[in-house]
Amino acid sequence: MNTRTELAAILDELLSLGGRAAGFDDATALLGAIPELDSMAVVGVIGAIEERFGIVFDDDEIDGAAFASFGRLVSLIESKIG
């Protein structure tokens, strides 16, 4: 499973980005830069990530910094996968 591809698919699907997420790179800003990614959407994205990757985030692991960029979120997921 490719973390980047899977995460892009999750974001694209949940945020209805119409394929835009496929072009995201590590520097792509997320929270505050993508209007579709509001606080309610973040909750859905976290749930989808946990389900798709079979991981569980502790409350203290998720904050605004985790969603600062695509690369940061990929790194967080990969650290949980092991």
Rounded to whole angstroms, how far apart are CA atoms 80 and 82?
Answer: 5
> What are the residue boundaries of the structural domains of the chain, listed by start?
3-81
If you classify domain 3-81 with CATH, what class do you get? mainly alpha
Q: Using the Cα atoms of residue 59, residue 54, residue 79 and residue 17 in order, give the sign of their dihedral.
A: negative
Per-residue pLDDT of the chain (82 residues), as tens digits, is 699 999 999 999 999 999 999 999 999 999 999 999 998 999 999 999 999 999 999 988 898 899 999 999 999 999 999 8
